[in-house]
Structure 1
Amino acid sequence: MTVQPNIQGQAQANPVSEIWYTRCPVPTTSGIAQHFRWIHQEFERHGIKVESIRAAADQAVRNSHYSHTQPASFREGGNVPPIWTRANGQDTVVVGITWVDEEQLILVRPDSDIKTLADLKGRRFGVPKHDTKIVDIARGQDLRGLLTALDLAGLTPADVEFVNVAGGEFDLREQGERREGRRHGVVEALLAGTVDVIYAKGAVSAALVVKHGLHPIIDINANPDPFVRVNAGTPRPITVNRDLAVERPDIVARYLAILLKTAAWAKENPTAVVKAIAAETSSTEEIVRKGYGPELHLHFDVKLTEQYIAALRKQKDYLLEWGFLKEDFDFDGWILPGPLELARALAADDAIKITL
């Protein structure tokens, strides 16, 4: 590749001995790649140690999952924290975006008289409100899902009552309890009858239907318009520290090349993908299949298409409009396509190998 001499020069001038990664407990390409240790194997082959932010003993390091303060770190997952942290001035860049559709359910109790979207008028919508120093991720997610349902019903926020359900601080670790347990507040409020409607998605929503018999009145994910399906989990940006991307594009490209290889592998290995995502989400394989559908293995591609970028911008605009961000930021300048272009060349040259 013609870029190789420059990359080698940058590697000598800016040595890096370790990188850090984190991903959300949802289907991510990074999650599959780390599950099979492909990220670790590739970088350790080049003398670079790979560390997990979520596995760190120091909570300040674990908090980087949300704030992206850890040097030389990569993140793939829900879009609320990376948008929030960029709006707060953290100098990150988006070097890729993934989009794994997941069921997005508006749920009611099995004995509820709410049967259709039209029945939402005048009802109590349960929305989590966490006592947190970071952005309230769950609130941003659930509120958007409920607002989307209202819009599809031809209703406005003034037509319903939003009920805050208190929650605590976030601390995401490498291992955790089943995902539905983390939604105890809103689920219990619904089961107790203090709210009439809640939102849930993916493995969480699938588990809640099975465990509590909750009734979905709509799956937003069934809407053919991808922009209607935009929420905290769709799309998912891959972010890195800008200084790493500028000073060591070879490292960022290598990480992305592993993900490109992983996405290609996933297309040929649906059963192994389900097993890996079950581990990533602390769910059963049955729940993974219910929550993410039979074509899950086909949708781990890393892209920076106009649609993916526009969808991420729409999510940023929503968070700004509803007060989750203190101020706007240069969205266009946040997108850095160069490393992904280098990654495609690396992957095409078969320089990156993944093996079980």
Structure 2
Amino acid sequence: MSAVLEPRSNAATSKPSQPTELWYTRCPVPTASGIAQHQRWLHGAFARQGIRLESIRASQDRAVRESHFRHSLPGSFREGGNVPPIWTRSRGQDTVVLAITWVDEQQLVLVPEGSGIRNVAELRGKRLGLVKKQGTELVDVGRAEGLRGLLTALRLNGVGRDEVQWVDLPSAEWELREDRTPADQRKHIPTEALLDGRVDAIFVKGAGSAIALQRGLRAIFDINEQSNPLDRVSAGSPRPVTVDRQTLQDHPELVDQYLAVLLKTAQWAAGDPDEVVRVIAAETGAAEAAVRQAFGPKLHLAFEPQLSPVYVQALHDQKDFLLAEGFIPQDFDVDAWIDPRPLVRARELVSQVELKA
């Protein structure tokens, strides 16, 4: 299947022809895009215009699947964790942030059940585990996630990063394919290292936290309990919704439509909390009970794409963190990365959206 938009007319003043296919990708976490594609509402909206919507991570072509990280595929949308889109923008890829979503989730510092460690202050001198991917040029999302979580927990409890021992946990290259293996059957390197005694504490967030607790681990701190949202910034939230700039320039009406479906999906989610849990369980591969535990009773209210000042500031903060810790190669202007106009236009279209496959 071609990953290239239809050829454009040579006439400088003519509008580029409509593409016959568009692409989307989302992380295996709660997202508006995940719900909308799971229900086939995004597919239906574009199919009625003669456009196929294809999943990047379901492609048989690794170069296509890598666009989940690189955002290199023309005609593609992405919603998910913030590390890959910040990384790829830092590397010069011309993408645009259209909106941001935010799903609060458990962010736990875990120790073995039988450990005598009672709180973060008692981690001084202890071994904290961080994954380190092997054999890949892609950004190490797992390491960025763990480091942000552990450093946040240490800071909030007055412990310096040099007061603990950092232990690298070698991990295989990221699997880019969609994975239907149940989450509790997937190998989680930090959990294994904690259970076999190689480290004294790890960080786990989201549905994985509920699974880790079932395996005999104990939480000594939950970052998600912090009242200041900027203290809850992680690799997972804020979640930017991005598109390649060329698609926005050539086909703004299609970008507006994508966002309008997400906005309508968020409205639907707010009225059906039980169905949201079912869909997110399917998206994450976790049991419904784990979804409820990890994301809380207000999950169904968390899917509205916004560009609120707090969401934007959180994106700034995460970019600054990734730059300071060497995960991205160069700085860039986050405000210039954001274009608020499509979201404004999309809000005007929501009443016309029909959620049907």
Q: 2:173 aligns with which of 166, 169, 173?
A: 169
Establish whether residue 79 from structure 1 lines up as the match of residue 86 from structure 2.
no
- 5 Å-filtered alignment, 1:104-253, equals 104-131=107-134, 132-179=136-183, 181-182=185-186, 184-210=188-214, 212-253=215-256
- Aligned twin of 1:100: 103
Give percent identity, aligned residues only.
52
Q: CA deviation at 1:15?
A: 1.9
Establish whether residue 308 from structure 1 lines up as the match of residue 311 from structure 2.
yes
Q: CA deviation at 1:124?
A: 0.5
Amino acid aligned to 2:303: F
- Aligned twin of 1:297: 300
Which string of whole-angstrom CA distances, capped at 9 and with x for unpartnered residues, describes residues 173-193 of structure 1? 223323355553211110111
Q: CA deviation at 1:168?
A: 1.3
**RMSD of aligned Cα (Å):** 1.3
Structure 2 SS opposite 1:218: strand
Tell me how far apart the structure 2 counterparts of residues 139 and 327 of structure 1 sit (CA, whole Å).
19
Contact 2:81/2:235 (8 A) holds in 1 = yes
Contact 1:133/1:169 (8 A) holds in 2 = no
Contact 1:62/1:171 (8 A) holds in 2 = no
Structure 2 SS opposite 1:228: helix
Which string of whole-angstrom CA distances, capped at 9 and with x for unpartnered residues, describes residues 296-325 of structure 1? 001101001111010011000000000101
- Aligned twin of 1:3: none
Which string of whole-angstrom CA distances, capped at 9 and with x for unpartnered residues, describes residues 64-107 of structure 1? 10111111000000000000000011100100100010000000
Work out the number of aligned pairs and report it.
344
Indicate how the Cα distance of structure 1 residues 183 and 239 shifts in structure 2: closer, same or farther if over 3 A, else same.
Answer: farther
- Aligned twin of 1:271: 274
- 5 Å-filtered alignment, 1:313-328, equals 313-328=316-331
With structure 2 as the length reference, what TM-score do the two structures score? 0.94
Indicate how the Cα distance of structure 1 residues 334 and 21 shifts in structure 2: closer, same or farther if over 3 A, else same.
Answer: same
Which string of whole-angstrom CA distances, capped at 9 and with x for unpartnered residues, describes residues 3-59 of structure 1? xxxxxxx99534221100000000000000001000000100011111000110111
Q: CA deviation at 1:199?
A: 0.2
Tell me how far apart the structure 2 counterparts of residues 157 and 222 of structure 1 sit (CA, whole Å).
21
Tell me how far apart the structure 2 counterparts of residues 233 and 280 of structure 1 sit (CA, whole Å).
15
Tell me how far apart the structure 2 counterparts of residues 155 and 184 of structure 1 sit (CA, whole Å).
26
- Aligned twin of 2:10: none
Tell me how far apart the structure 2 counterparts of residues 145 and 183 of structure 1 sit (CA, whole Å).
20
Tell me how far apart the structure 2 counterparts of residues 117 and 279 of structure 1 sit (CA, whole Å).
34
Unaligned runs of 5+ in 2: 1-12
Unaligned runs of 5+ in 1: 1-9
Contact 1:76/1:239 (8 A) holds in 2 = yes
Tell me how far apart the structure 1 counterparts of residues 291 and 336 of structure 2 sit (CA, whole Å).
36
With structure 1 as the length reference, what TM-score do the two structures score? 0.94
Q: CA deviation at 1:224?
A: 0.4
Tell me how far apart the structure 1 counterparts of residues 20 and 192 of structure 2 sit (CA, whole Å).
47
Structure 2 SS opposite 1:13: coil
Tell me how far apart the structure 2 counterparts of residues 238 and 181 of structure 1 sit (CA, whole Å).
29
Structure 1 SS opposite 2:87: helix
- Aligned twin of 1:4: none
- 5 Å-filtered alignment, 1:12-23, equals 12-23=15-26
Amino acid aligned to 1:17: T
Contact 1:63/1:171 (8 A) holds in 2 = no
- Aligned twin of 1:257: 260
Contact 2:270/2:301 (8 A) holds in 1 = yes
Tell me how far apart the structure 2 counterparts of residues 100 and 294 of structure 1 sit (CA, whole Å).
12
- Aligned twin of 1:280: 283
Q: CA deviation at 1:331?
A: 1.6
Amino acid aligned to 1:149: A
